[in-house]
Each structure stands twice: as C-alpha cells, then as structure tokens.
Amino acid sequence: MNDLILKGMIKAKAFLKKEDGWGIAEILALIVGIVVVVVIMAPAIKSFSNVILTAMTDWWGNVQIDLFGG
C-alpha cells in the first residue's frame, strides 16, 4: 500500500513539474478562472433563479384561479 502511495506522489510531482503544459502555472490559472467564474456567475444564477421562481409562483396562482375559481 505504501508503494502505491509513493508511486502516486512521484507521478503527481512529475506531472506538476512537466515543461510541456499542466504545470503549476496552468493549474493556478485554472483555479483563478474557476474562482472568477464563480464570483461572477453566483449572483447571476441567484437573480435568475429568483426570476424563475417568481414567474412560476405567478403562473401557479393563475392556474389555481382558472381551475378552482379562486
């Protein structure tokens, strides 16, 4: 089991040190990109979900009135 962990650690270190891409710089850029997308998209998704929920609530109110004569 320890050999498997050691081999994995060696492969991970070699992966991060490669010169042909997917080194530390690429991984950091990916992390920064994800953080930026989350910071920008989270408020937009919240606003979008509020619009959808409001529209669905209004629609359901209209359905209740039409069906049950509320």
Number of Cβ atoms within 10 Å of the Cβ of 28: 10
- Does the global pTM surpass 0.95? no
User: Which segments of 1-70 does DSSP mark as H helices, in order?
Assistant: 2-17, 24-68
Task: Summarize pLDDT for 7-54 with one digit per residue, the tens.
Answer: 888 888 877 776 666 678 888 889 999 998 888 888 888 889 999 999
The residue with greater pLDDT, 55 or 42, is 55
Whole-number Å distance between alpha carbons of 33 and 69: 52
- The CA–CA distances, whole Å, from 27 to 5, 55, 62 equal 22, 40, 51
